[in-house]
Structure 1
Amino acid sequence: MSRRIVRSFSAVFGSQLGVLMLTVTITPLLTRLLGSGGYGDYSFMLSALQWLLVFVYAGAFNGIRKYIAEDRDEDGWTDHVFAFYFRMVAVLAAGMVVLVLLLSRSPFVSPLGSEFTIYFLLLACIIPLRAALRIARSGLMGLELESYSEPLKIVDRLFFVIVIAFLSVVGGSVATVLLGRLLGTAIAAGVALALVSRRIDLSKIGRRTPETVPRKRLATYSVSTMTLTFLLLSLYHLDIILLRFLAGDSATGFYRAALVVAEFLWFVPIAVQLTLLHSTSNLWIEERYDRLSEIGSRAVRYTLLCTVLLVLGVAGLAEPFLTLYFGPEFDAAVMPLLLLLPGALGFAVARPVLAINQGQDNLRLLVAVTAAAAAMNVALNVALIPRFGTSGAAVATSVSYGSMFGLHVWTARRLGFDPLIDIRIGRTVATTLLAAVPIIGLPYVLQSELLSLAVVPPIGALAFVSAALATGAVRRGEVQQLASLSPLPAESIIAVLPERVAESLRSTDRDG
């Protein structure tokens, strides 16, 4: 992989890790502050917000990153691309605010309870702020300024954490938690727009887009991306919304807890996904399919290994983690979590492939295969939730998640590159089996929840890394190469590894 891709990934991954740590801190406070019922209602509102934002963003996040990164020769290309998408999103955000205000007093919302009127009013305030933050971040990422764009997510989440920490002392409700979301987003959006204004001429927002900019192509890509995002979002949130209506708030809260843990597995895959779309866009223009195959297969292999390690850890520690982290009543989330893990793994590995596929202009095939997975998700959730509740939702979602891997690999091959040419599946399976023994077996031997949570993660990680190097799932030279391309000094990275591993890497570097 190139230095630019590795540095971009490092910035995205660092911020993803920071957001994850803040989320880990805040989630148990939220569940204890709101209770399972309140947490279910809060999760329902977040899902509703995500659905609404799909139509506000309208694919602009990917469009801005893709087309700014292509850096065409037209005068003011970057300014005009950003201005085109900014105007589009501003109009859509204004329309969505009006729609939400009307919805807050509609017959669709009133059966949920009078307090939901306030929730939807707060959502109407959050929408334009989220849109401004998203657009500004995408502009910075298109300019390869991930070191500026990605820490903004931490700023957003940090102020939210501060609000929740205060509420956990004085008491609060779903409405005050949503207000905390609003405040954090407002601060991050203000900083983001200030950073963008130093690099992009925002005065172009009020001017007509020149004929040299292919407005139809930008709009077509945006609509296709919006459709794709809508379908992906249905995979994330349809189960939550159906559960709220069919099984009640407590069941939704338990299931949301399982989803939160399952989605922890994606913090590396999402960082890879965010990096690859704009980083590989020019390769599609140049028709360098061999290079796309090389980057894609390596990204898939690294993503698979990282996610398998986390899946093993979550599977081995599911019950002690859920009951300690969320509270004793959340033992009801253990079975849904275990059922979600296979699908979460499949979707994790699909993400790098999906991102590279989105780097080319024609998204019709991507939309078609994602629609197939989304249709499967709808059918399975409707069929299984009434009969099996949270376990039914987990099975439906897991099957749909897992199908994304096969569908998008097939799509990649149809488009001209192969993301599986170097995934070393046999070596990866051997690594998994070797590492599973201590990771899954130790909790049964220790017979102590706290001791298992303290001992298994470091021992399991060491066992997995050692097994990956021993089987050749990752070669020592590859670790050294990634370290040398990282913004961090290579020796600083090697120094944190076990002594025998570090020495073998140094000797590999000397021999090479």
Structure 2
Amino acid sequence: MNQFVARLRTVVQGGQNGIAGYMLRGVSTSFLLQGFGLALVTGSSVLLARLLGAAGYGTYSYVLAWLEILKIPVAYGLPILVQREVAVYAGRQDWPLVRGLFTRLNQFIIVMSAVIIALAVITATFGIAGLFENAIERRTLFIALVSLPIAAFSAIRAATLNGLHLIGKAAFPDQIVRPSTTIVAIGILWLLGARLTAETAMIAQVTGITCAFGLGALFLWRALPAGFAALSARFETRIWARAMGPFLLHGASYVVWASLAVVMLGWYRSPAEVGVYRAAALAAGLSIFPITAFVATVSPLVARLYAEGDMARIQKVVSTTTLAMFAFGFCGVAGYALIGHWLLALVFGPEFDTGYWPLVIIAGGNWIFSGIWSVGVLLDMSGNQRFPAMAYMGALVVNLVLGVVLIPRLGLIGAAISTAGSWALAHMWLAIVVTRRLGIRPDIMRSLVWGAARFVGREHAKR
């Protein structure tokens, strides 16, 4: 990893105080936090899977999937807008606009959270559309709803810190504090003799979210300039509202797409299959976890370079990082193909080894994605956010159609095919859009040619 970051410094140029220094600090910090955080998240998931069993873990995962969908209007899409706008406003020291943006978003989150929670409670209480007729699922949902506004405010806080280039402080609460607190809460409940069920697991999760929000709010308060709270806010409400639409559509389509397989498995199949699929998807996600670290670091950088019109430097950053992501993704899918059966049984338990093929299929889709990973960042940070929104909407439709056809017949494998296939197709189309609209080649083939040319150039220079 240190060698790769050093290469980034050479490629991007600018010294410790320029872009290279930012990439060096940002990627290293984010990679470390993401890696440690992912280990904690995986550890808590494994712990819950073993303590709850496939059926109990399936119920917990099913409610979590619905919670992610319910959070769409308040916690998804908006952070991308905040990160982009804060990066621009802070760059020109326009703090009254930042203050105004916070005010409008807080108002929006409070009102929308109240509406969503009320509708969810009514739907679950009366079993509308046959949802949450199971008492355990219903009680677990009610507990989860407590975290909805907290998670929304936490997402805005993290996006703001990312926009201020404080990558470590943005990631630490959610990546480290939340899973750590969840694990501790599970341990305390176990020591107190509480019966571990989907409901108690959700209490632990809500506790972790709340603690992470508290620490993140402290980080944000200390990061903002002195006197920020006393500033007279300026508003560009219409501009923000117009930009918010595509971002919300983007976030909504992505979250529904990501949660659809779990929801449809819960609808058509058994809670045990939901639990197995959730475990397989979690393991498959490990094959591309560095992408999250690079997204957090590269996004505000791309926004700044695009505003400066420096497309050549953006291309160099994209080519360098794509090579690393593609290699990591290949190692992941190859490793899962070889030892996936053994790994699932060893880590999650013998009843989870039926997730082998979903694991391999989803990891394969992730590998394709790793070769064009930057397309969403490039379009979102350049003001072309409507294209990712369109792509994820298309992925959602494809995922839904394939899921309806395949899941009742193939179960876990059908869910994996519909998820991985729709994900890969959406990003292939976005790669074409990036090339045509921005003049940047985000694909692995361009990165391989670029890398080979640099290698040949260095060898020639040595002679």
Q: In which range does the TM-score fall when normalised by the shorter chain?
A: 0.7 to 0.9
Q: 1:338 aligns with which of 360, 369, 374?
A: 360
Q: CA deviation at 1:327?
A: 0.8
Distance 1:339 1:75 in 2: 47
Tell me whether 1:105 sits opposite 2:105 in the alignment: no
1:218 matched to 2:240? The reply is: yes
1:72 is aligned to 2:96:
no
Q: Is the contact between residue 409 and residue 418 of structure 1 (CA under 8 Å) also seen in structure 2?
A: no
Rounded to whole Å, the distance in 1 between the matches of 2:231 and 2:420 is 47
Q: Which amino acid aligns with 1:104?
A: A
Q: Report if aligned partners of 2:358, 2:413 keep a CA contact under 8 Å in 1.
A: yes
Q: Tell me whether 1:85 sits opposite 2:105 in the alignment.
A: yes
Q: CA deviation at 1:34?
A: 0.9
Task: Give the aligned residue type for 1:197.
Answer: W
Match in the other structure for 2:146: 125
The residue identity in structure 1 corresponding to 2:415 is A
Task: Select which of 25, 30, 37 maps to 2:48.
Answer: 30
1:196 to 220, 234, 240: 220
Task: Report what 1:505 is aligned to.
Answer: none
What is the distance in 1 between the residues matched to 2:230 and 2:112? 16
* Correspondences of 1:151-190 after superposition (within 5 Å): 151-153=172-174, 154-167=176-189, 170=193, 171-190=195-214
Rounded Cα–Cα distance in structure 2 between residues aligned with 1:151 and 1:41: 28
Give the match's secondary structure for 2:127: coil
Correspondence for 2:298: 276
Aligned equivalents of 1:477, 1:161: Cα separation in 2: 51
Cα distance in 2 for residues equivalent to 1:477 and 1:7: 28
Q: Which residue identity is paired with 2:431?
A: V
Larger mean CA deviation between 312-321 and 162-171 belongs to 162-171
For structure 1, the 5+ residue unaligned runs are: 429-470, 479-507
What is the identity, as a one-letter code, of the residue corresponding to 1:103? T
Aligned partner of residue 18 in structure 1, secondary structure: helix
1:354 aligns with 2:376: yes
Shift of 1:371: 2.1
Which structure 2 residues correspond to residues 420-439 of structure 1 after superposition, within 5 A?
Answer: 420=442, 423=445
Query: Is residue 315 of structure 2 the alignment partner of residue 314 of structure 1?
Result: no
Stretch of structure 1 that moved more, 78-87 or 16-25: 78-87
| Per-residue Cα deviation, 1:186-221 (whole angstroms, up to 9, x for no partner) | 1111111122122337997899842xx432222222
Counterpart-to-counterpart distance in 1, 2:439 and 2:134: 51
Does the 8 Å CA contact 2:365/2:421 hold for their aligned counterparts? Answer: yes
User: Structure 2, unaligned stretches of length 5 or more?
Assistant: 1-11, 13-19
Is the 8 Å Cα contact of residues 96 and 231 (structure 2) preserved in structure 1?
A: no
- Taking CA–CA contacts closer than 8 Å with sequence separation of 6 or more, which of the two structures ends up with the larger relative contact order? 2
**Secondary structure in structure 2 of the residue aligned to 1:198:** helix
Relative to 1, partners in 2 of residues 1:287 and 1:326: Cα closer, same or farther, differing over 3 Å?
Answer: same
Aligned positions of 1:48-59 closer than 5 A: 48-57=66-75, 59=77
Instruction: Report the Cα distance in structure 1 between the residues aligned to 2:164 and 2:288, rounded to whole angstroms.
Output: 25
Letter in 1 for 2:208: G
Structure 1 CA distance for aligned equivalents of residues 408 and 453 of structure 2? 43
Distance 2:131 2:408 in 1: 23
State percent identity of aligned pairs: 22
Q: TM-score, normalised by structure 2?
A: 0.86
In terms of mean alpha carbon deviation, does 164-173 or 8-17 score higher?
Answer: 164-173
Alpha carbons 2:374, 2:442 under 8 Å: kept: no
Cα drift, residue 105 of structure 1:
0.7
For residues 193 and 286 of structure 1, the distance between their equivalents in structure 2, rounded to whole angstroms, comes to: 31
Letter in 2 for 1:28: V
- Structure 1 window deviating more from structure 2 (213-222 vs 231-240): it is 213-222
- TM-score scaled to structure 1, two decimals? 0.79
C-alpha distance after superposition, 1:39-58 (max 9, x if no partner)? 11111111111111111125
Q: Following the alignment from structure 1 to structure 2, what is the Cα–Cα distance between the partners of residues 124 and 218?
A: 27
Q: Distance in 2 between matches of 1:165 and 1:425?
A: 46
Deviations 1:93-138 (CA, angstroms, capped at 9, x unpaired)? 2322222332331323665311223212212211121122212212
In 2, distance between residues paired with 1:267 and 1:418?
24
Instruction: Quote the offset at 1:289 in angstroms.
Output: 2.3
Which residue of 134, 156, 159 maps to 2:155? 134
Q: Could you tell me which residue of structure 1 aligns to residue 7 of structure 2?
A: none
Structure 1 residues 327 and 421: alpha-carbon distance in aligned structure 2, compared to 1, 3 A threshold: closer
Deviations 1:1-25 (A, max 9, x none): 3221332222222111111111232
Aligned partner (choices 264, 269, 279) of residue 242 of structure 1: 264
- Distance in 2 separating the partners of 1:287 and 1:375: 35
Matches within 5 A, 1:143-158: 143-153=164-174, 154-158=176-180
Secondary structure at 2:32's aligned position in 1?
helix
RMSD between aligned residues = 2.8
Shift of 1:391: 0.9
TM-superposed CA distance for 1:241, in Å, is: 0.2
What is the aligned counterpart of 2:285 among 236, 247, 263?
Answer: 263
Residue 333 of structure 1, CA deviation? 0.8
| Counterpart residue type for residue 114 of structure 2 | A
Residue 358 of structure 1 aligns to a residue in which SS? helix
